[in-house]
Amino acid sequence: MRVFIFRGLLVIILAAAAVCVYHLFVIQSNYVQAEEIDNLLAAYAPFDAASVPKPQKSNDPESAKSEQNDSDTSMNGVNHFILDVKQDLNEDTAAWIRIPNSRIDYPIVHGTDNSYYLDHDIRKRKAAAGSIFVDSRNSKGFTDFNTLIYGHNMIDGSMFSDLRNFSDFGYFSNNPAALLYLPRITYNLEIFAYIKVKDDDRIIYSSSNIELNEFIEYVRSRASQYREIQLTDQDRIVTLSTCVNDLADSRMVVLARLKLAV
């Protein structure tokens, strides 16, 4: 009887060990894959790493198009590196986001649904880290009042994990802007709020038009970090969203206004 018990326990222990080894292998493989993607994207990334331009008063995209030039990265012209990513890696590439003093420096894709890029990388290969992607309900070209951009909160600090830094008052105060590169336009992102919301928040994640004053008051009243900003009906914003790892139905969100870069 003892022999059978011993053998049973041994089988259980070996099975548990095998499961642990498998999970460790999967985790390690995910890290290797993420590092491979980082190295791949480094060859395409815009080279003006530290500069965050001052905003321009005009919001008219046509004024930016008229000033195009042939530089690889232009504040008001053709961003060839995005066209290269679009051609070489993924035709769904819509933009590139860079937040100074963070690891957030990635291309943004715009697919046909909100599930595919949760677990597919920029090469459309299965990947736990997924991609940074625009809500499929949003219009092309960031023309909606509120364009939603999603990314995973990865344990290794990649993707949108560094959005959590904006919960700190010092970081929020010292990092008021970021960059959003489109193929032919570059925008300055004027960051004005950090907020935690539910994943079904009707104001933040709404696909329909929200009255401007209602939106502003809602964000101001709930934001843990907020910077006063004068939004108008002509302004457009982006909402950067990622999960809160210890709360399955919660999201942390950073909001920013689009301004043409100079």
37 φ/ψ angles, rounded to the nearest 5 degrees: -65, -45
Residue 52: its pLDDT value, please?
A: 45
Whether 29 has a pLDDT exceeding 50, the answer reads: yes
With beta carbons less than 8 A apart as the criterion, state whether 201 and 66 touch: no
At 247, is the pLDDT very low, low, confident or very high (cuts 50, 70, 90)? confident
Whether 22 has a pLDDT exceeding 90, the answer reads: no
- Mean pLDDT, range 139-162, rounded to an integer: 94
Residue 47: its pLDDT value, please?
A: 66
230 φ/ψ angles, rounded to the nearest 5 degrees: -95, 95
For the stretch 92-146, pLDDT in tens is 999 999 999 999 999 999 999 999 999 999 999 999 999 999 999 999 999 999 9
- Mean pLDDT, range 237-257, rounded to an integer: 92
Whether 172 has a pLDDT exceeding 50, the answer reads: yes
Residue 45: its pLDDT value, please?
A: 84
- Mean pLDDT, range 220-225, rounded to an integer: 96
Alpha-carbon distance of 59 to 40, in angstroms, equals: 33
- Which domains are delineated in the chain? 44-260 (2.40.260.10)
Whether 67 has a pLDDT exceeding 70, the answer reads: no
With beta carbons less than 8 A apart as the criterion, state whether 149 and 240 touch: yes
Residue 54: its pLDDT value, please?
A: 40
Whether 75 has a pLDDT exceeding 80, the answer reads: no
Residue 241 bridge partners (DSSP): 150, 253
Alpha-carbon distance of 200 to 196, in angstroms, equals: 12
What average pLDDT does the chain have?
A: 83
Map the chain to HEC letters.
CHHHHHHHHHHHHHHHHHHHHHHHHHHHHHHHHHHHHHHHHHCCCCCCCCCCCCECCCCCHHHHHCCCCCCCCCCCCCCHHHHHHHHHCCCCEEEEEECCCCCCEEEEECCCCCCHHHCECCCCCECCCCCEEECCCCCHHHCCCEEEEECCECCCCCECHHHHHHHCHHHHHHCCEEEEECCCCEEEEEEEEEEEEECCCCCCCCCCCCCHHHHHHHHHHHCCEECCCCCCCCCCEEEEEEEECCEEEEEEEEEEEEEEEC
The radius of gyration computed from the CA coordinates of the chain, to the nearest angstrom, equals 21
If one counts every other C-beta atom within 10 angstroms of the C-beta of residue 127, the result is 21
Alpha-carbon distance of 155 to 88, in angstroms, equals: 29
Tokens of 144: 């909606």
The residue among 115, 145, 146 whose CA lies nearest residue 133 is 115
Whether 49 has a pLDDT exceeding 80, the answer reads: no
Ranked by mean pLDDT, the top range of 45-54, 68-77, 82-91, 198-207 is: 82-91
Alpha-carbon distance of 241 to 132, in angstroms, equals: 10
